[in-house]
Amino acid sequence: MTVLFRKHKQLEAQIDEYLDLVVQGGLLFKQGVKLYLQGRLEEFETRLQQLQEMEEKGDELRRHIETKLYLRTLIPESRGDVLGLLESSDKVLNRITETLLQISVEIPDIPDDLDPLYNDLAEYAISTVEGMVKAIRAYFRDLTSVRDNINQVLFYRKETNKTAENFKRAVFRRELRLSHKIHLRYFAYHAELIAEEAEDVCDRLSIATIKRYI
């Protein structure tokens, strides 16, 4: 049931479209990582280009939504929270894009036997993003399910951290140059940052939800 946007269907549709872009960006990231690990670099670069185009489209749509919220004085009681959620979600999409871009630029040499672990790391990180988007949608439509979706994000954030730790332990316990180990740790850390950004959005969302109940 639509609660917040009962009288603003067009705005609701645009925010839904923006959130769709965040989800699609996460899917492109997962595909990109998988292609990179498989050595299919041409296809990987195609996914990166698609992700960059999606990020640009998301930025444009977000700015359009923000302008509409300000100029038309829509949902004044919740406008600040909605703007904050959009801006913090944009940071998540930016982080996703930046991480895949850095893989393209720096070409990390991940040992073949660690490919599954790094792929799991990417999967868990994006699962936090998908849960974040579900929680935001619930904020607009069904406040009672926000908490469940936030708990899903917290679960996958922990799984991301555990997998990143396992990956880094495996890296630092093998015969590699120290510079190589540090380089690989960097890419595990940036996958963790995706999950951290998604959790930060949910922290903001928890406060916004409480305010809607008051």
Q: Give the contacts of 106 (CB within 8 A, at least 6 positions apart).
A: 183
User: Which pTM value belongs to this model?
Assistant: 0.92
Asked if the model's pLDDT at residue 212 lies above 80, the reply is: no
44-96-139 Cα angle (round to 5) = 135
Predicted confidence (pLDDT) per residue in 75-119, tens digit? 666 778 888 999 999 999 999 999 999 999 999 999 999 999 999
8-state DSSP, 144: G
Q: What is the CATH class of 9-213?
A: mainly alpha
On whether the CB atoms of residues 71 and 57 are closer than 8 A, the answer is no
Predicted confidence (pLDDT) per residue in 136-176, tens digit? 999 988 889 999 999 999 999 999 999 999 999 999 999 99
138 sits in the region (left: phi over 0; alpha: psi -120 to 50; else beta) called alpha
On whether the CB atoms of residues 131 and 152 are closer than 8 A, the answer is yes
Distances from the Cα of 149 to the Cαs of 6, 70, 207, in angstroms? 22, 29, 14
